[in-house]
Structure 1
């Protein structure tokens, strides 16, 4: 209906403003870091922020797929499930940052393990089959269904509902479970990536914080029509491959300047977006 179209357009415009505000805040913070701690730290922040932002957006593409698979009504997507997904992303990333900083400072060799994870993720992004629309064979989905009796229909915003005197989970609970598991998987990918850019826990955490800040609004933009950025995934694959290689070089005392890293990350991601838009037009 025309009312729905108007509401969607207003939602889109509002999300666009929020995203712009979040990016502006991150830039302001990065400049502040530069003034206080020098250009090196500022470059580390921006490299980390760009990397984490791109991985967060990739995480949201997965959210969109999960919502499609579970046929989650739009009203519940924005309110409950997305909020759990975003809180989960923050909690898991913070836990891994705290764990990662302590571990990396104790054992330099952990870097090689993190680099291998990144190179594997990069390879996966390039070789991923186009089976994204079908999550029927998804291990997570299958496993959840084994342990939880699930109804086939939604019951408002509820996670559990009583059917014939038996309490069963609604598909909404299953959706949240799958989203949280995808959060863990993305945290495992993204934290090693940012440790490839900097070892400073403050920079690692703040770059992650600003990347996650506008996720709800990014979700609206993506689900409303930016999901056809075809070259974003290979671009992220290239970035992860580069950072993985950089970590291995670091381990053998061959260091690439942060400014150079930032340039490569920014150019690759921008290239992915521009090529996608050119292909679309």
Structure 2
């Protein structure tokens, strides 16, 4: 390469360097630690001195009864996420796109974006204060009116819906930003031409707006499938208690308890590696399916 090329390209490479170093240091180098999933790892012996046991940790995972409970809870929550939470930002973006009063649209966007900056600790804490069994404000109010208390935090039947609704409240407004950005690229002349041809709002939505969003929807859905075994440890862990553990125990909380609390690093790493492999398979499968259906996909 010529000296002139490097003079032009060097600023670009310098801009890329911090991101590249981040991935090398925090993503690629730690991947060597995955090898302890195939060992009887001891922190005192280290990776080099620990006994190599092959696939024993994975046989243990698939043979224990906890595996099917973890798999069921994880897949059920992910199904609710894909069917209800994933479309929520799309719906919010479509509704905001139809707003014609500028100040009203801006105010609604600000209100919807705000929950994204509230931590799960605060959100779950507020819910607990409102619906706690003994001292919850709403439960006390219901009891004073002669109604039964709502055991929102302890009844297993409520856990999944509380988790889902809190996700929607916190993330749907912020998630709509990507779809609003995609809609901003739509030529207004298309809507004007459709109106002149007598197309209703619903037909414009079907033939102009949704096709403009299809690319973003497909890419985000593919990326979401890569996290099909991930649900967000912090949120579920904060909502979890001994009363709802049969529906709230997922792979992430299990890894925390087995790995950090009990110090079984090899087993917890094997569980984490299993999650990662499933995510990789899902990304490759859904991406290939999307290409067969005529979409661009991620790669």
TM (norm. structure 2) is: 0.31
TM (norm. structure 1) is: 0.32
Larger of the two Rg values belongs to structure: 2
